[in-house]
Structure 1
């Protein structure tokens, strides 16, 4: 479109007196070939028409080339999107069979219950591990105590044997002394005087009895410790069985179910995502089809013909003639 400039309409503001008698319109400049521009300017000044609905007609070759390029671009995109659509549609169908009739809300409720059970099982297992640790600590203390008792028992046995040997030696010494009571010393040939040692024997005997009693008491204590250790080992074994049962429940029951539900929820989410993508692709393809239809319509649309003189009706011409007559 040509722009409106002052030099194109300056002649409208005065009339050359030499042109009064000419047959041609005095509104059109003399020797000016582009009368369409002048007429359009007059219409703009009178009525404000800017004729924006008319655009420069693109050369036919360029226009056809652009249309062909647009068609090829749209068709290539449609083919590319058709492949993506088919791949997504196949994936959607494969997922649909495994999640048919399942709601995310229902699965979420099941998942919450299973996760609560899993947490309870893990808490129980943790408590069992704490109990096993405490019992192992007590068992270790009993093992240390048992080792000390064994050492003490060995000492008692050694002391009892030593005192027993002393008593046996004293008995032998007594018997020998009685046999040699009336004999003289082989060195000095004097009678051998025998002195009794009953008080010494009695002391050793009392000490021996005391050690035997302590050894018997220690034996009872050792037996109790052995029973306690056996009871602790049994408790630890039972707790380990419970722990293994809980581990088995977690590994082979709860965890697989939780993972399956999470996978199903992920599949449903993916299904919804793919379905949304398919709808978007379908909308894009529909828009492109509409663009192709509009493009075909443009081919069949008749080019607008710009005829500014047609805007001058009889009433407008009469008004202009009256104004010119007054000026003349």
Structure 2
């Protein structure tokens, strides 16, 4: 969450035009040639963070300017902070909606009564007076903004530091900074940390650790013996070579199985087609038989008609009486209709059809016989293939798989045993170390151990991902991680400056600051809302340009633009170093000094020239 941002910085002086730069709450880039006052803006902000009096941004005698004003917009209010160059007092006033300055309050720039640190900490939401641990002996000091500020404001003289860019310049303040950062992240000042243990407590702790290690060793021995008992017989030769050979043999067998299955499938298809055809042929043959019976019946019927008519004609020829039985009158001879010719014609046609049907039935019976013979040949071949697959190839494959599994089980258990042996050795060493530990050894405060594992893991993941996305030395870069011992980045396992020289250090330090900012934004209980980096590309100027530098520059500034939601970011960079990107599309606030009296703004201060 964004608590506040800097709205503008103004340098004032008697009979001088106010020199003002305005900022937005996202990304602000101050660019221009050297010696145009860019860095002085950063110095002016730090001056109101509570820097020493001799760290004023300008000399009054040389410039005529004598005062700096900072306008802060917080979540609910707007404030004006004013400090004269030769004073340790800072006046903080509220600014009303009509622009009036009200309720002025005097703060001390340094320590003492009502330090300005209270104001800045309250902007973060820290209202309590925390006492943080400042050294390894658990000595404490008040939490101050000056302890935290160096990790959020990176001036040009620290941007290429070879130590952690997050640390304050003073080595003695590093423990206090780490304690302050723990408070930002977790909201705890570790006030319950004991400076010293009593001899009895230490003895109890020591015995508890010894008992824990002994218990772990005992459990490890049991697991070791169980794993050892499950270890199959060791291969006589190099097991990897044996496994490779088995895999090759298994591949061959599985190919044979697949080929056999394909052949079996083809046979099944062919058998099915022939059985279907066989069924159709049998149906056709049955139909032919029915037609044969029908034709025979029709022939018999026609023969009966012909025979009947012939007998009737013979009878009529022998019966000569054509007189009436009552009157003996002569009767006319009846006209007889004959069907013999028609029946003979139909009979002839039926006999021809019957002959064709008989021939066709014979051919169909032959075809049926051939189909049955083919099926009798295909089905044994199918059974033989199935038997080969199920009784020979598959059992052989399963046997090979079982042997491979046993060898891999052997390898896994063997590796497990090796790991257990190493663990046993480590636990024994730890046990021996604790048992030989002097009972009066002093307990030291180690703030780096207070950060949870996720802090170091996430910083590592962020740094590695960011450098890859920014195309940092793609032919050389392998990995990056955030090392707990130095609280800084290591690249390819090496310190940043030994791996890269000082030419890339400012770039790498800027990436570290951005990762730190991202982590605080997502996880911290109290989140600083303003980050400032002066000259993140220092050392990558055109005179020392190498292949890939342009991609790195663009990658870094694209990251700046893509993470404006994380709070205000003020970047100071020389014009010649600034990558050519479309800043307007991302609504970047650009403040440009030209060092040209006739074109744009010459520098930060008016009427002051090189």
Out of 363, 383, 387, the residue aligned to residue 244 of structure 1 is 383
CA contact (8 A) 1:167 1:204 kept: yes
SS of 1:112's partner is helix
For residue 282 of structure 2, the aligned residue among 140, 143, 154 is: 143
Structure-1 separation of matches of 2:309 and 2:286: 35
Q: Describe the superposition over 1:56-93 as per-residue Cα deviations: whole angstroms up to 9, x where unpaired.
A: 9854333332332222111111111111111111111x
1:290 aligns with 2:406: no
Q: Which structure has the larger Rg over C-alpha atoms?
A: 1
State the partner residue of 1:190. Answer: 330
Determine the C-alpha separation between the residues in 2 that align with 1:303 and 1:183. Answer: 162
Give secondary structure in 2 for the equivalent of 1:298. coil
Q: Distance in 2 between matches of 1:162 and 1:230?
A: 34
Aligned to 1:217: 356
Structure with more contact order per residue of length (Cα contacts < 8 Å, sep ≥ 6): 1
Q: Could you tell me how far 1:204 is from its partner in structure 2?
A: 2.4
Q: CA deviation at 1:112?
A: 0.8
Shift of 1:280: 0.8
What CA deviation, in whole Å up to 9, does each residue of 1:249-270 have, x standing for no partner?
A: 2111111211221222222222
**Residue 73 (1) aligns with residue 202 (2):** no
Equivalent-residue separation in structure 1 for 2:254 and 2:437 (angstroms)? 63
Deviations 1:128-171 (A, max 9, x none): 12212221332233233223323322321121011110121122
Please, which moves more after superposition, 144-153 or 165-174? 144-153
Q: Does 1:119 align with 2:287?
A: no
Gaps of 5+ in 1: 6-47, 49-55, 305-328
| TM alignment of 1:14-29, pairs within 5 A | none
Q: 1:61 to 1:4 in 2, by over 3 A?
A: closer
Deviation at 1:213, TM superposition (A): 2.8
Question: 1:174 aligns to what?
Answer: 313
Distance 1:200 1:84, change over 3 A: same
2:227·2:413 contact (CA, 8 Å) conserved in 1?
yes
After superposition, the Cα gap between the structure-2 partners of 1:79 and 1:190, relative to the gap in structure 1 and judged at 3 Å, is same
Residue 14 of structure 1 is matched in structure 2 by none
Q: Which has the higher strand share?
A: 2
Once the two structures are superposed, the pairs formed by residues 78-89 of structure 1 within 5 Å of their partners are 78-89=217-228
Contact 2:220–2:420 (Cα < 8 Å) also in 1: yes
Structure 2 residue aligned with 1:233, among 372, 382, 390?
372
Report the CA distance shift for 1:57/1:184 in structure 2 as closer, same or farther (over 3 A). closer
Q: Does structure 2 conserve the Cα–Cα contact (< 8 Å) formed by 1:160 and 1:211?
A: yes
The one of 258, 277, 295 equivalent to 2:416 is: 277
Confirm or deny that 1:63 pairs with 2:202.
yes
d(CA) in 2 for partners of 1:58, 1:209: 131
In 2, the alpha carbon distance for the partners of 1:213 and 1:241 equals 43
SS at match of 1:183: coil
The 10-residue stretch of structure 1 (269-278 or 106-115) with the greater mean CA deviation from structure 2: 269-278
For 2:280 and 2:426, locate their aligned partners in 1 and report how far apart those are by CA, in whole Å. Answer: 83
Q: TM-score, normalised by structure 2?
A: 0.37
SS of corresponding position for 2:379: helix
Contact 1:104 1:268 in 2 (8 A): yes
Q: Is the 8 A contact 2:210 2:435 kept in 1?
A: no
Give how far 1:220 is off. Answer: 2.1
129 and 303 in structure 1: CA distance in 2 versus 1, 3 angstrom threshold: closer
Q: Measure the CA separation in 2 of the matches of 1:100 and 1:173.
A: 110
TM-score after normalising by structure 1: 0.66
Instruction: Give the match for residue 297 of structure 2.
Output: 158
- 1:160–1:208 Cα contact (<8 Å) kept: yes
Match for 2:233 among 92, 96, 120?
Answer: 96
Return the match for 2:401 from 239, 244, 262.
Answer: 262
Q: Is the 8 A contact 1:121 1:246 kept in 2?
A: yes
Give the unaligned 5+ runs of structure 2: 1-136, 142-171, 173-194, 443-610
Greater fraction helix? 1
